[in-house]
Structure 1
Amino acid sequence: MLKLGWKAGPEQYQPAELLDYVVAAEKAGFETVDVSDHFHPWSEHGHSCFTWAWLGAAAVKTRSIELGPGVTCPILRYHPAIIAQAAATIDNLAPGRTYLAVGTGEALNEYSATGSWPDYPERRAMMAEAIHLIRELWKGGEVTFNGDYYRTRRARLYTPPLSRIPIYVSSLVPESARFAGMHGDGLITVANGPENAKQIVRNFEKGAHEIGRNPSSMPRLIELSVAYTDDRNAAIDCFKKYWAGAMVPAMFNLNLYTPKMSELNGSVVGMDTILKKTCISTDPDDHVELARKYIDMGFTHLFFHSAGPDQMDFIVKYGSQVLPRIRQMQAQEAVA
């Protein structure tokens, strides 16, 4: 089932302001939200609230919208037992509308907070173990765990989840998507070109098939960068000011651990790159066509990320002018 969501960016907005936006997003017809979980923002202009505290506030401020981190790293600055407890608590506040999305992290958050940054194969092994431990703890019994990276002794969540929490595994490149298919209940990624997304989906499906799962029943989530404004320059400036560091692959591979490092890394991002990676238009049909492209690839959850210039205006207008058209398009094609 298609779900249309809003991307919440604590790197760009103060937590109270972001709460106003998620309440507005629910009213505007967005069905799900994903919120970044970062210790440092991508630039020195940004903010950095504690996402799990914000999710608790968002859970009690809303009534129907689905909530989760997009994404959290449960292997270094967090012990997986703490993430199991955090997600279980959110599910008690928002039962049946909580999910957990996990990834192997960035040095921006993990090295800065812990001084530790293992290479990718080790972080991937850590995450496989973390996912297993989280699921064991969610069962509600005592867990004595002796892994290669984590240990618990008669650990128990005395406030377990009220419902089943799905775990979505992040993949930004095709090489990691097979892991997501093998270990996750679904996939979460960021649009970085159609061909990259198609290969990620293919490898995700391969991983699921390898362990006897049906990938067609597994959710696939993707973030799409958009701006619904006629002020193209202001939209480009917002993306560049707050998010340019996230648009350069080196940010996810190298030990770049301060907002200043991220900002310098993103300084190579120009207008052409931003226009290539985003849909900036006031024509609803342009946004419907963007959504169609990724729905046709098999994505089931689309999160629309707007950096501005006016977030509230985006939420209200996108909810009333774009989301209904996407749903109508999808419904018409489903019966065709």
Structure 2
Amino acid sequence: MVMLGIKLGPEEYPPVELMNYAIAAEQAGFDAIDVSDHFHPWSELGQSCFTWTWLGAAAARTNRILLGPGVTCPILRYHPAVIAQAAATVDNFAPGRTYLGVGTGEALNEYSATGTWPGYSDRQQMLFEAIELIRRLWEGGYVTFDGAFYSTRKARLYTPPTTRIPIIVSSLVPGSAAFAGLQGDGLITVASEMSIIRQIVENFESGATQAGKDPEKMPRMIELNVIYASDMQAVMQDFKKYWAGAMVPALFNQNIYTPYMSEMNGAIVGDDTLKKRLCISNDPEEHIKYIQQFIDLGFTHIYVHTAGPGQIDFIKSYARDVLPALREQNKGAAGATEATA
């Protein structure tokens, strides 16, 4: 079955408040949680807790909901061996209901914390190697690894994962989607123009097929920005206040490494841009129609994201008004076999 989840943003909310939203989402009937992993937020007004601490706490405070990072960059500010250990620990708290989302990162988080920001092709090669090392550590035993970027000497996870953790690889543009299919157990992306999303899906499937995998059995996750609130204009302003920098993906590979720099580049995001990038409506049918088009493209995990202080109201109303209809019209749809592995 399609999993209907929520994107929770540490870039906007303090960690304890964010935890309350996670608990409320599970109680309301959401299936999954996707949470950012940032060192810096997109805005000077934002927050930025340590996501791996938060995921451990969320795993302990929830019972059935799938949860994971969307996404972690395991190549610069983290050594991949540390991420292998972190994800394994979360799996011990939440067996079978976590995943590891990975990507090549943003200068906002990596350059700011390390002073290092290689070009994209180098970072992709680093990610290739990091994924290999993480998987070898999860397999157990002592791992001596001599790569171009990372080395270990008889490294071993003495608290290994209890279940198989899928590695979900991020792709925001068609050019990186084949890599996600080749190297990942699944795909995670963010909504953009439908022509771009279709090409991302096609390239992901091509890469997976090339690697001898069945793409129909691989989880495909997508984050959708939505507004479903009584005061839609206020939520739009909060999107611009906290998230405008994230809505200029062409800037992700540039050397923008402070929230202030993010704000300056996000200043080009106006109401017209938001209306093109978000589903903004108080009519649940509009949201159902909007989400269904991504399900029809084969996405197995839908994460809706909204902004502003009315998160609890959003969680309850969306779970009441939108999720049941989506479940009903997708009843019996074949989901990815590894979606909750």
* Fold agreement, TM-score > 0.5: yes
Task: Tell me, yes or no, if the aligned pair for 1:71 and 1:170 is still in contact at 8 Å.
Answer: yes
Residue 47 of structure 1 corresponds to 47
CA distance in 1, matches of 2:168, 2:128: 12
Q: Secondary structure at the match of 1:331?
A: coil
RMSD, aligned α-carbons: 1.0
Question: Residue type matched to 2:71 in 1?
Answer: V
CA distance in 1, matches of 2:193, 2:22: 27
**Superposed counterparts of 1:310-329, under 5 Å:** 310-329=310-329
**Superposed counterparts of 1:94-173, under 5 Å:** 94-173=94-173
Unaligned segments of structure 1, at least 5 residues: none
1:57-97 Cα distance to aligned partner (Å, 9 max, x none) = 00000000011000000000000000000000000000010
1:333 CA displacement: 7.7
Identity %: 64
CA distance in 1, matches of 2:253, 2:164: 33
Residue 235 of structure 2 corresponds to 235
Task: Tell me, yes or no, if the aligned pair for 2:2 and 2:333 is still in contact at 8 Å.
Answer: no
Task: Tell me, yes or no, if the aligned pair for 1:227 and 1:308 is still in contact at 8 Å.
Answer: no
Q: How many residues align?
A: 334
1:249 CA displacement: 2.6
For CA contacts below 8 A with separation 6 or more, give which structure has more relative contact order.
Answer: 2
Task: Tell me, yes or no, if the aligned pair for 1:177 and 1:207 is still in contact at 8 Å.
Answer: yes
Residue 65 of structure 1 corresponds to 65
CA distance in 1, matches of 2:10, 2:143: 34
CA distance in 1, matches of 2:122, 2:85: 24
CA distance in 2, matches of 1:333, 1:94: 26
Question: Residue type matched to 1:59 in 2?
Answer: A
Residue 23 of structure 2 corresponds to 23
1:165-206 Cα distance to aligned partner (Å, 9 max, x none) = 000000000000000000000000000121111000000001
Q: Secondary structure at the match of 1:7?
A: strand
Task: Tell me, yes or no, if the aligned pair for 1:308 and 1:314 is still in contact at 8 Å.
Answer: no
1:309 CA displacement: 4.5
CA distance in 1, matches of 2:332, 2:68: 30
**TM-score normalised by structure 1 residue count:** 0.98
**TM-score normalised by structure 2 residue count:** 0.96
Task: Tell me, yes or no, if the aligned pair for 1:222 and 1:301 is still in contact at 8 Å.
Answer: yes
Task: Tell me, yes or no, if the aligned pair for 1:230 and 1:281 is still in contact at 8 Å.
Answer: no
CA distance in 2, matches of 1:257, 1:133: 28
Unaligned segments of structure 2, at least 5 residues: 335-341
1:212 CA displacement: 1.1
Task: Tell me, yes or no, if the aligned pair for 1:234 and 1:309 is still in contact at 8 Å.
Answer: no
**Superposed counterparts of 1:1-336, under 5 Å:** 1-331=1-331
Q: Secondary structure at the match of 2:230?
A: coil
